[in-house]
Homo-oligomer: A and B are copies of this chain.
């Protein structure tokens, strides 16, 4: 049986990573878990996000994946190091790939980061960027309204356009030359974000960059799939499977099967 890459997120945001893995690594089997019953993670206390992430990772381990991808910036910020330290397989987050891509892209060393309240409060991007490149200036902005819009599937609504323009009105005046989409939900809104920020700001999708790093790490571990066949992926979600399937099929452009999972523990602690 082909070993899968297990990808998890607070909801549908991690599907942006899934889409890129399907495109960049078409032979890799994916098992996805979207915690749609408890989305968004952004406003939750760090301790709660850590417990939820651990619970999903434990669920995914039953499938014996070859890698765990925490495709949620909020969960990466609080849980990556802890999960990595206790598992023998590679555990990949979405913060460092985005940070490395921004360092490669930026010419003026002024980088913007947008994310959930949890991600921005953790200062994880600032830390990741300045650990590697101490001269870099980082300008951060929390965008708490974006994830609920995406989870409702409102990618191109007029309401969404207005919220994005209002939220980024200060950031667009800053002299940044690239902007990290520090939440895997945000690529769903990248057309609008790009229009608001203008042509001189390159958007960095942590989703795209994470797919690229998954490829790098699997190669260096000698674990790339080379079956020559297109695998059948599996999708799980903790909330409404009908809404999840609708958003996933529209984003991935293919038919998928979704298995609902009912948590045996209270949703909110």
Contact = CB atoms under 8 A, between A and B. Distances in A.
A25 B228 contact: no
A110 to B, nearest CB: 15
A267 interface: no
Nearest to A128: B219
Nearest to A20: B104
Interface residues of A, number: 29
A6 interface: no
B135 A26 contact: yes
A81 to B, nearest CB: 11
B27 A228 contact: no
Interface string A29-48: 00000000000000000000
B212 A131 contact: no
Interface stretch (A95-103, A171-179, A231-239, A242-250): A95-103
Contacts of A216: 96-97, 100, 213, 216-217
A169 interface: no
Interface in A214-231: 215-217, 219-220, 224, 226, 228
A55 interface: no
Interface centre among A25, A101, A103, A217 (most CB of B within 10 A): A103
Contacts of A215: 100, 103, 132
A25 B219 CA distance: 22
Given A131-B224, A134-B228, A226-B131, A24 B103 contact: yes
B228 A104 contact: no
Interface string A66-107: 000000000000000000000000100000110011011000
A12 interface: no
Nearest to A217: B220
Nearest to A225: B132
A96 B220 CA distance: 10
A129 to B, nearest CB: 11
A208 interface: yes
A224 B129 CA distance: 12
A211 interface: yes
Nearest to A96: B219
Interface of A: 20, 24-27, 90, 96-97, 100-101, 103-104, 131-135, 208, 211-213, 215-217, 219-220, 224, 226, 228
